[in-house]
Structure 1
Amino acid sequence: MNATEKFYLPVDGILKMFNSLPAHQQSHITHTAHQSAALSPVLQHPKVSDITKTGMGIIKTVKGCWRQQDARVGASRSSSSGNRQVSIERVPKRSVDRLELGLTKPRNCHRIVVLGAPKVGKTNILQRFLGNEFEEHYEHTIEDFHRKLFHIRGETYQVDLLDAAGERDFPAKRRLSILTGDIFLLVFSLDDRESLNEACELLNEIQAAKAKLLKSKRPARVPAVMCGNKADLDAQRVVRRAEVGTILGEDVPYFETSAKNGTGLESVFRALASLGGLPDETSPSRHQLISIPTYQSLCVGRRGRRGIRTPGLGAPCAAVDPLARRPSFTSDLRLVLGSSTKNNKPEKCQIQ
């Protein structure tokens, strides 16, 4: 990875939050960022552009806004309760994998892999899970990775969401995603029979891949949910519920949904939680969405160190990590191969 790529690593997630701010705040932040880039000394590098400098200025300014906002919230809470103001942790400069840091139990960390044909609504279903609204404009997804962190009844949970749409034409890469997945969401469109056929083929591929990894001669039972999306387009429907039930049998839960109006999505999210051993509170309607700095300070307070105490500490809450990036393929391969490398004899890779 060259220096320019390293410069860009944290930018994408921050810009998403930047774009969600009101227009007048965006204007103020951009103006401040330009001033910061102009006044601060810059390391000479032929591949680092002024746009990158401005982007880094935006990152610093947005982080400053986060800290000021949480500081004001902390001050108001302290004055109302009579307690002195306490400090908060700095916003992390990169995504934090709580499993790697030992802050979340391995059994509380899960990866949900979303698979299906193009244009069936996978991205909008994921956005609903993240607490965002439906997006009418369609953009082809190459690969999308999200991380949502939960604090529920004193326990922390990490749920990684991988939209593997771009792996449709790369079998080896798709196989790796399947082998590292814990829970699977298969999506097809009720107005497209071919998308149903593709979802069923993907289900067979998942079962075969997991069986091979487990060295089983029979297809493995996997925690998978089938989702027939676009139920709001009833006039264009070509796939009926009874037909899908006949194909799937009773082994795979099936739901008809609409990412546009939210129909059936709550049932899908509850089924994913149940199959993965996650609390029901991981469903978007069952928890409060908070910012990453607030989530970090809440977890700091939980460990007994000084941090901001939010009202209703026991209430379920969650935060979306804006800097989350998919783990490297090397890390995923190690996860597949496992830790059984005794006598320096690695296991045979099951990707091919």
Structure 2
Amino acid sequence: MNTTEKFYFPVDGIFVMFNSLTGHHHKSSVAHAARTPEHQHPKVKGMGLIKTVKKCWRHQDKKMGERRSSSSGSRQVSTDRLSKRSVDHLGLGLTKPQNCHRIVVLGAPKVGKTNILHRFLDREFEENYEPTTEDFHRKLFHIGGETYQIDLLDASSERDFPAKRRLTVLTGDIFLLVFSLDDKESLNEVHELLNEIKAAKAKLQKLKPPARVPVVICGNKADLDSQRAVRRSDVGRILGEGASFYETSAKTGAGLEALFGAVVTLGGLPDETSPSQHQIVPILTYQSLCVQQQRGRRSRRAPCAAVDPLARRPSFTSDLRLVLGSSTKKPKPEKCQIQ
């Protein structure tokens, strides 16, 4: 904004607004002058007024903060901070980099990916279908005195954006490919996704032969047996006999324990990260355990986990840096692999 630019407001309105912000009542001669037509809309420099108002806002915020801190104890203040902020456990050194994993869920629409994620997060099955734009969840674990972070990304909306989906594939550690047992076309899409993941990871790792990618295949909606269109023999023929395949029903819960156990095992995660092997606690309880850990106090609590309600997907810039390997060991990456 140009500082020389001027704004034209009714003076009475400005002082009403200013007084409501500052809590003061000014008796200005300008207000009396505003009664005459020639002084009804005098020129006021906008930036000076805005700076004054912002200064008053900061002053009031500071006073309100002092009142809050004086009226409540230090323990209550720390609890409020924990409830309003998503703690970066990796940045604070509370979670080791090797204990952070990203599970990417891919598949055709309407195959039940969202409900499978809900089951992993210990949530209820949702009957009504709503198209998923992008779901990102973060589940935090406290196991044996160590913390773990599992990011869950449902990248359904990236089907029409190849470059974006390729970046998602390259940053994924574990893959869960879901199709519906009553839709054979969804199995063909999983086959294409499987080939895409293998090709992208092989090109990134530059290994011959490429390292094995942890991929688990899920055939969902096993409860619709009368409408089944895919047999186990079809899965072996299309995906190969070596595919890690499980039939599940997100509605009834059948097969989910074996599915999550396979995801945990292939991803190199502790067994306690499987939903049936830990207790769900509030996020404040989890963060208090992390604070105790940071202070050198080891907790004897049984394995527990919490879902971070304020977690957001890392920016594409940070994902791209991760792919390009922007570290001291690789200062000059050869080429961006998402093109």
Q: TM-score w.r.t. structure 1 length?
A: 0.71
Aligned residues: 272
Task: Determine if the alignment matches structure 1 residue 266 to structure 2 residue 271.
Answer: no
Bigger-Rg structure (1/2): 2
Matched residues in 2 for 1:234 and 1:343: separation? Answer: 52
Q: Quick one: which of 149, 161, 168 aligns to 1:170? A: 161
Aligned CA distance change for structure 1 residues 342 and 300 (closer, same or farther; 3 Å): closer
Q: Secondary structure at the match of 1:112?
A: strand
Cα deviation 1:78-132 (Å, max 9, x = unaligned): xxxxxxxxx8573253323322222111111000000000000000000000010
Matched residues in 2 for 1:244 and 1:228: separation? Answer: 9
Shift of 1:40: 9.8
Give identity over the alignment, percent: 74
Q: In terms of mean alpha carbon deviation, does 295-304 or 183-192 score higher?
A: 295-304
Cα deviation 1:35-76 (Å, max 9, x = unaligned): xxxx999xx99xxxxxxxxxxxxxxxxxxxxx99x98xxxxx
Q: Equivalent residue for 1:108?
A: 99
Equivalent residues of 1:290, 1:317 under 8 A apart: yes
Q: Secondary structure at the match of 1:150?
A: strand
Cα deviation 1:166-201 (Å, max 9, x = unaligned): 001100000000000000000000000000000110
Shift of 1:136: 0.3
Task: Determine if the alignment matches structure 1 residue 225 to structure 2 residue 216.
Answer: yes
Shift of 1:303: 3.1
Q: Secondary structure at the match of 2:311?
A: coil
Aligned CA distance change for structure 1 residues 214 and 91 (closer, same or farther; 3 Å): same
Aligned CA distance change for structure 1 residues 194 and 90 (closer, same or farther; 3 Å): same
Matched residues in 1 for 2:21 and 2:308: separation? Answer: 28
Shift of 1:241: 1.0
Q: Equivalent residue for 1:246?
A: 237
Matched residues in 1 for 2:101 and 2:81: separation? Answer: 26
Q: Equivalent residue for 1:128?
A: 119
In structure 1, list runs of 5 or more residues that go unmatched: 1-38, 46-66, 72-86
Matched residues in 2 for 1:218 and 1:263: separation? Answer: 36
Q: Any residues of structure 2 matched to 1:1-352 within 5 Å, and which?
A: 90-216=81-207, 220-304=211-295, 313-340=300-327, 345-352=332-339
Shift of 1:148: 0.2
Shift of 1:221: 2.3
Q: In structure 2, give the amino acid aligned to 1:101.
A: L
Equivalent residues of 1:124, 1:259 under 8 A apart: yes
Equivalent residues of 1:104, 1:157 under 8 A apart: yes
Q: In structure 2, give the amino acid aligned to 1:98.
A: H
Q: In structure 2, give the amino acid aligned to 1:332.
A: D
Equivalent residues of 2:217, 2:243 under 8 A apart: yes
Equivalent residues of 2:325, 2:333 under 8 A apart: no
Matched residues in 2 for 1:282 and 1:342: separation? Answer: 32
In structure 2, list runs of 5 or more residues that go unmatched: 1-19, 23-48, 51-71
Q: In structure 2, give the amino acid aligned to 1:97.
A: D
